[in-house]
Structure 1
Amino acid sequence: MAPEDRRAALIAATIPLLHEHGLDVSTRQIAQAAGVAEGTIFGVFPDKLSLLSAAIVQAFDPAPTLDAVAAIDPGGDLRVRLSAAATLIMNRFARNARLMAAAGHGHHAKDPAGIARMNRAREQLLAALTELIEPDAALLRRTPAEVARLVLLFCGANTFGPFADHRFDGDELVSLLLDGLLVPPDHSHGGV
């Protein structure tokens, strides 16, 4: 196997283990998952941390989510577009929640290149959402960029931290954002 292929295979084997074990994954576990001898890892990576860093970078690659957001029909209803995007984003956040916590507490928290990649990914996601919202800018009280930031905020709050509540799906979050919490005046609400 070519060195780049072996590198890619080791990274691919490491990502699910990072999701399961965090940074405590062992090189023995990685080697077993990759179907190689443990020493093979060190023929490709100088140390375990280098492999973990490469795997985290790959896991955080925003391209699949950006591609999925870009594939949402821009001519569809705003609510449907935003719900689809919110669902994609929450799935991404949920899939990477443990890795984000691990990266935030380890060497990666002080890695300027890693921080720059995370910020770039956030900005790319914000730009993709803004573009998705722009066709309906005239319907909104806020700019598409502000609405995109709120969608990201809602998705993040629903996934991370002490107030995360996974009962809210993309449809519900978008409903809360677009409709608020008040019952519309033309609907009955239990006689109130």
Structure 2
Amino acid sequence: MPPRARPMAADERRAELTDVTLGLLRVHGRAVTTRQIAEAAGVAEGTIFRVFASKEELVDAALARAFEPGDLVARIEGIDRDQPLSARLLDLVGVLQQRFRATFDLMLKVELVGPPRHVHDSEEAEEWRARLTLLLTDLVGEDGDQLAVPVDHFLHVLRLLTFAGSHPKVTEGRLLTPEQIVETVLLGLGRRD
């Protein structure tokens, strides 16, 4: 007999199933079954369809969750501002690379060519980009005077190189290290006295 699901509100059940499904998508890709999801969540398979209309709706919710900021803000805020700029940037690139690599791995596993539309084309996405810009500008802080370009341009280039240097297809399997990224950007965009 299938396990009896612990009673919980529909929103809570949706969140739990979404998290479980996201973990399974990272392993099985779109081939994951509702039976695997139910077993991993400790519920009967029918419980899934009490809160999701279909497996596709559940998978879509899990993929949307993968693109949420999650703990990224806290990790960036946790970077020690007393370190030299290069050390802060190394920490930042390490955080961003972990995020990018996990996202790229998932996208390859589920054969997703690009992120879901809402990730770039929504008011929420605009708000997130603005918040991230403020976080990163704060991370540079008063050391912006060490740069030969405006801080926003420097950060744009840093993020682009981190993104491209973290993608296994773009780099042809030769991923860039945080040190390579930071040295390249600081050398290219740092002030020359």
Normalised by the length of structure 2, the TM-score is 0.79
Which AA in structure 2 matches 1:174? V
Distance 2:184 2:17 in 1: 42
% of aligned pairs identical?
A: 31
1:183 corresponding residue in structure 2? none
1:6 corresponding residue in structure 2? 13
Query: Equivalent of 1:177, from 159, 176, 185?
Result: 185
Structure 2, unpaired ranges of 5+: 1-6, 189-193
Deviation digits for residues 114-167 of structure 1 (CA, Å, limit 9, x no counterpart):
742555544433332222113211110111111111111111111226332554
Q: Secondary structure at the match of 2:71?
A: helix
Please list, as runs of the form range in 1=range in 2, the aligned pairs for 1:1-192 lying within 5 A after superposition: 1-3=7-9, 4-101=11-108, 102=110, 104-105=112-113, 109=116, 111-112=117-118, 115-116=121-122, 117-118=124-125, 120-160=127-167, 162-164=169-171, 165-180=173-188
Normalised by the length of structure 1, the TM-score is 0.79
Corresponding pairs, count: 178
Q: Secondary structure at the match of 1:150?
A: helix
RMSD: 2.5
Question: Using a 3 Å threshold, how does the CA distance of structure 1 residues 119 and 18 change in structure 2: closer, same or farther?
Answer: farther
Moved over 6 A (4+): none
Distance 1:31 1:162 in 2: 34
Structure 1, unpaired ranges of 5+: 181-192
Q: Secondary structure at the match of 1:7?
A: helix
* Greater helix share, structure number: 1
**1:83–1:174 CA contact under 8 A, matched in 2:** yes
